[in-house]
Amino acid sequence: MEARPRTSVAGPASKARKKSPYSSWFYLPAAIVYAVLFLVPTVTSFYFSLTRWSIFDSQFIGFDNYVTFFREPALVSGLWHTVVYAVITSGLKVVLGLGLAVLLTSQIIGRGYLRSVVFFPVLVSTIGVGLTFTILMDPEDGLINESLSLLGITGPGWLTDPSYALVSVALVDVWKGVGLATLIYIAGIVSIPQEYFEAARVDGATAWQNFRSIVLPLARPATFTVILLSLIGGLRSFDLIWAMTRGGPGFTSDVIASVIYKQYQAGFYGLSTAGNVVLFLLVTAIIFPLSRYLNSKEVDL
């Protein structure tokens, strides 16, 4: 309330001051924080990825770390797992998020309550979720398999069977993350002007036509946000996998981030630094063009 008149007074004055370098100084604290916490470590990590270092000393070895890293057998499968994981989680979050958002913007009973129920898992600690689901998914006495056996189905070893482990973790990630996707979609759908729906009603459109021709195209910005966020999250995902399987059994649910972490844990600091540089480049290589492409689509609209 108080602020409004002040800004209108300050308006012309600030225009006159625009050329003065004075205001740029206000960037300085942020710039220093950014440089110290982000730029310097990034640049030094590029350098240290070329050395074999320990806490006591470092030795420059050129690109040997990268050679070793790409020869790491767990890495090749880890790369593939990372992509599979990111695509599964991202895809399911888009589909389920959109479905839930449509449901939760319609006139259903207990809408507010259901919205918070869907969003709730986002607020819980990832490690907590991981440990809980590890217990639920226990092949012998986990709740999931015990419930299935009541129906006469023998459930698989969700986290111990090599062919299911990665998918099981991805599904838990979806359970945990779909609330955020739903929230973004709800915001997107609510912001669609009512006039479109009114016009559609006049033309006698069905619910499906409403969804197909109004909601889907006009919620596109929300879709892009969900895809980008969940894909970045999926590519870097580490905490949930580490809490649930530690990359196991064997290496069957190892993603790049967990491969890197294990190298670090083993004391191969140079190698794991190189791995992080590779992860950085990989995420950039996938997300940057995708984000450009999606943004250009948005302008077309």
Contacts with other proteins by CB under 8 A lie at: 52, 54-56, 59, 68, 71, 73-74, 138-140, 157, 159-162, 246-252, 262-263, 265-268, 270-271
Find where tokens 């990832």 sit. 126
Q: CB–CB of 144/158 below 8 Å?
A: yes
In whole angstroms, the minimum distance from the beta carbon of 55 to other proteins comes to: 5
Which is closer to other proteins, CB of 48 or CB of 268?
268
Give the chain as a DSSP string: --HHHHHHHHHHHHHHHTTSGGGGGGHHHHHHHHIIIIIHHHHHHHHHTTEEE-SS-EEE-TTHHHHHHHH-HHHHHHHHHHHHHHHHHHHHHHHHHHHHHHHHHSS-TTHHHHHHHHHHHHHS-HHHHHHHHHHHT-TTT-HHHHHHHHTT-----TTTSTTTHHHHHHHHHHHHHHHHHHHHHHHHHHTS-HHHHHHHHHTT--HHHHIIIIIHHHTHHHHHHHHHHHHHHHHH--HHHHHHTTT-STTTT--HHHHHHHHHHTT-HHHHHHHHHHHHHHHHHHHHHHHHHHHHHHHH-
In whole angstroms, the minimum distance from the beta carbon of 16 to other proteins comes to: 29
Which is closer to other proteins, CB of 223 or CB of 276?
276
Which is closer to other proteins, CB of 230 or CB of 258?
258
In whole angstroms, the minimum distance from the beta carbon of 225 to other proteins comes to: 33
In whole angstroms, the minimum distance from the beta carbon of 258 to other proteins comes to: 11
Which is closer to other proteins, CB of 5 or CB of 73?
73
Which is closer to other proteins, CB of 185 or CB of 251?
251
Which is closer to other proteins, CB of 230 or CB of 252?
252
In whole angstroms, the minimum distance from the beta carbon of 69 to other proteins comes to: 10
Which is closer to other proteins, CB of 54 or CB of 125?
54
In whole angstroms, the minimum distance from the beta carbon of 23 to other proteins comes to: 23
Cα–Cα distance for residue pair 52/54, rounded to 1 Å: 7
Q: Which amino acid is at 226?
A: V
Instruction: State the CB neighbour count (10 A cutoff) for residue 172.
Output: 26
Cα–Cα distance for residue pair 116/113, rounded to 1 Å: 5
In whole angstroms, the minimum distance from the beta carbon of 270 to other proteins comes to: 8
In whole angstroms, the minimum distance from the beta carbon of 261 to other proteins comes to: 10
Which is closer to other proteins, CB of 107 or CB of 265?
265
